[in-house]
Chains A and B, each alone.
Chain A
């Protein structure tokens, strides 16, 4: 099976490859937004924004999870959700740039973002050990090489790689468990 990373590489010039990524994750991302907003249309808008941002930033995807795009997509989904609550309106900048803001054939979403949408959002991340959290932060957020991460964490590059991989896998499981629990 083609990995997400391979599809995203092909998606640089192939919209159909990106569609395959969408088909793999649309439901999971929609469930994530629905579990937060509990409003169907708002969840659909946020899903659209998540994938529009993913499309626009696909060149920046870095494979840090053995070919899976799940951590990257959920990070974008989380960002879209947080941005919506901060702005007090649903984030829509990527949809505007892609010209699909009014292209989705349905009524406009009336939902107002609420702080409640963010409740418990970071619990999954907080549930990881401090070492794993810091390793993931250095690698994924600060974009450091595994060599640099290893230097800062006082470990070997191989161990840093394993720590990031296991941490992201644990995070993914925790997020999935949260979603299942809120269904």
Chain B
């Protein structure tokens, strides 16, 4: 099958029942996407499919042909991080960091959809992403900060 990941096409040889998560990690070696529960309970494997956040552990790789897949490796660029990534660092929104790629992708998707979210909208969008270290207050701060930064940049452009 052919998967379009972070703007590049990859020919992947794996059976039809393989999840997008396993294809990304084991075939394409994109290990930023994390395997935690493998059954859609925690959000650590979140990636974007045509801009929409999905649990890659509940998504079959074969079903993603023809769609744009964005993983954490496709957010920002070395030396030029996405506003959400910088805000996570600035606000200390990662402790162990294992959930962080999924959190960042969920936040990026939210801010694309709702550039000025209310706290309630942030909480609703982020509640599918567990963090066992308890960084939620920091994540909330980071998303507020990133939203303001992105709006300011947009207004200036």
Q: Do A and B bind each other?
A: no
Spell out B's residues near A (CB within 8 Å).
Answer: none
